[in-house]
Amino acid sequence: MHKSTKLLVLGFCVLGIMVWSCHRTTPKALRIVEINNGQILTADTQDEWTTGSGEELEEHSETPSYSVEVEVSYTERGTGLPTYPTAYTAEITDYTVTFKDITPGATPGEFAPAPVKGVCYFVVPSDPAGKKTVKQSILVLPAAWIDQYPELEDGKVLNAKITLRGKDMVSNLEINGEGILTINIANFEDDPQKRGE
């Protein structure tokens, strides 16, 4: 084999390794930067209000649903050729919210509600510095979920772990990221003159 042929084969091998290695996903590259603007979510299990006046007064009641905004960054940088064939991008397609009762004085494990699972779709372009973020609203407490647990009416403090899942659009590898939200939920006193207050 000629020297130039050997160098050409070696060059293709090195290029192949670089292309292959750039498809490896960096651990914890998908990050939930902030949930609900860093605030505790206060959730009322039952919204009650009235309409009309005098004899025409009507009372209304409903179980609200609660969504929060998650701010997400993706810091995938890969190895080898960092932008081959296009810039890394996280495609987020679903999420799970799992709950832990952290109410002061509560018995650990006594109240263990089912997780909330949902679908979503948003993309997060990679920024290795982690400065570029994408915000997306997701449903964490559906009304039907709240209705399953009458014990929430008396008040609970929940630690909600949100796990986002999807894939990298370049490597097609699965990715996930987690964040924690504190939820204060109870049947709070309502303003009867205003729906949602």
Amino acid sitting at position 96: T
What DSSP state is assigned to residue 82? Answer: T
User: Reduced to 3 states, what is the DSSP secondary structure of residue 131?
Assistant: coil
Q: What is the DSSP string of 33-51?
A: EEEGGGPPEEEES-EEEEE
**Continuous H helices in 101-171:** 143-147
Amino acid sitting at position 23: H
Q: Is the pTM of this model over 0.85?
A: no
User: Reduced to 3 states, what is the DSSP secondary structure of residue 17?
Assistant: helix
Please give the pLDDT value at position 56: 63
What DSSP state is assigned to residue 126? Answer: -
User: Reduced to 3 states, what is the DSSP secondary structure of residue 5?
Assistant: helix
Q: Which of 51, 45, 31, 60 is nearest to 124 (CA)?
A: 31
For residue 50, the tally of other CB atoms under 10 A from its CB is 14
Please give the pLDDT value at position 4: 60
Sheet arrangement for strand 66-74:
30-35, 66-74, 134-141
Three-class DSSP labels, 180-196: EEEEEEECCCCCCCCCC
End-to-end Cα spacing for the chain = 82
Walk along the chain (197 residues) and give the pLDDT tens digit of each residue.
Answer: 556 665 554 554 444 444 444 444 576 899 999 999 999 999 998 776 456 566 665 665 778 999 999 999 999 877 544 545 458 899 999 999 999 999 999 998 899 999 999 999 999 999 888 889 999 999 999 999 999 999 999 999 999 999 999 999 988 899 999 999 999 999 886 655 565 55
Place of tokens 């510095």: 129
Contact assessment for residue 103 and residue 41, using Cβ atoms and an 8 Å cutoff: no
Please give the pLDDT value at position 21: 44
Contact assessment for residue 193 and residue 49, using Cβ atoms and an 8 Å cutoff: yes
User: Reduced to 3 states, what is the DSSP secondary structure of residue 78?
Assistant: coil
What DSSP state is assigned to residue 130? Answer: S
Query: For residue range 62-109, what is the model confidence (pLDDT) as tens digits?
Result: 789 999 999 999 998 775 445 454 588 999 999 999 999 999 999 988
